[in-house]
Amino acid sequence: MQCSIKLPITTLILVVFLGACQSSDKGNHKVAYSHFRLGVNLLAQGKKPEALEQFLIAKELDPDSALISNHLGLAYYFLQEYEHAVVALKEAIDLKPKYSEAHNNLGRVYIDMSDYSAARKHLSVAANDLTYGAKDKVWLNLGLSYFFENRYDKSESYFLKSISLNRNNCLGYNYYGRVQIEKEQYQQAAKALDQAIYHCKRKGFDEPHYYSAIAFFRLGFKEKAIARLEEGLKKFPKGPNREKIEEMIKLMKITETK
């Protein structure tokens, strides 16, 4: 004789409802991840507004994902919407307090907001994480936090640490070279900025050409300095420092080296 257990109708509805919710949650996570991956690809292509749109959709579908919040913060950062970036990255950290990548990214945002003490607070978390694999970025950001406070000796040590971990370090060489210019060590500056030019050539970054020319000019190599600036204009005709480079060429042509 078979026994059957009859559940109240309300219980049956609850079971069906919960089962549907669990299935829906799994579906949302899957769809959210698809939008997230598309956002990552768009960001890599430099399509920042489109990437932001995809991360916002992903966040709506999966609001508890620290990974999505971190990348949402990055998209806002690259669009120079720093306040929104801070909110997103803080949310990533709230969801995952030891998320070193988010701490490092938030530190970088604070540097661009000129809040260097807040930057170092978060960068120190990433620096102390023995499992975090992108320490070259952390040292670079710590160096920047001191560089923009004109604390050049302190920043120099961090730029060197960053370069030691990543020999293809475009920004590391660039800012190490800039430190040497500030310290009037022009030969060292010229060598470092030559490395920066080589490693930055695929990034569309023209700043090393500008500061390399300054180092050469201070060393008394006026023609070489002007040639370096003209090279920067030729390689990066739409570079962010184009106007500065053009003005510097005019100035160097009428100025004698010491």
The amino acid present at 21, given as its one-letter code, is C
66: Cβ–Cβ under 8 A, 6 or more apart, which residues? 92, 93, 95, 96, 99, 102
Which pLDDT score, from 0 to 100, does residue 118 have?
Answer: 98
Which pLDDT score, from 0 to 100, does residue 13 have?
Answer: 53
Give the integer Cα–Cα distance in Å for 218 and 212. Answer: 10
Which pLDDT score, from 0 to 100, does residue 198 have?
Answer: 95
Which pLDDT score, from 0 to 100, does residue 257 have?
Answer: 73
Which pLDDT score, from 0 to 100, does residue 36 have?
Answer: 96
Which pLDDT score, from 0 to 100, does residue 19 have?
Answer: 55
Nearest in space to 54 (alpha carbons), one of 70, 36, 75: 36
Q: Give the DSSP per-residue string, 14-77.
A: HHHHHHHHHHHHHHHHHHHHHHHHHHHHHHHTT-HHHHHHHHHHHHHH-TT-HHHHHHHHHHHH
Q: What is the pLDDT of residues 194-220, one digit of tens each?
A: 999 999 988 889 999 999 999 999 999
Which pLDDT score, from 0 to 100, does residue 203 have?
Answer: 86
* Burial of residue 137 (number of CB atoms within 10 Å: 0-12, 13-18, 19+): buried
Both structure tokens of 93? 């950290």
The amino acid present at 144, given as its one-letter code, is L
Phi-psi region of 80 (alpha: psi -120 to 50; beta: other; left: phi over 0): left
Give the integer Cα–Cα distance in Å for 146 and 153. Answer: 9
With a cut of 50, list the residues of the chain below it in pLDDT.
1-5, 7, 11-12, 21, 23
CA 98 from chain centre, in angstroms, equals 19
Tally the residues of the chain: 258
Phi-psi region of 132 (alpha: psi -120 to 50; beta: other; left: phi over 0): beta
Nearest in space to 109 (alpha carbons), one of 93, 98, 95, 97: 93
Which pLDDT score, from 0 to 100, does residue 157 have?
Answer: 97
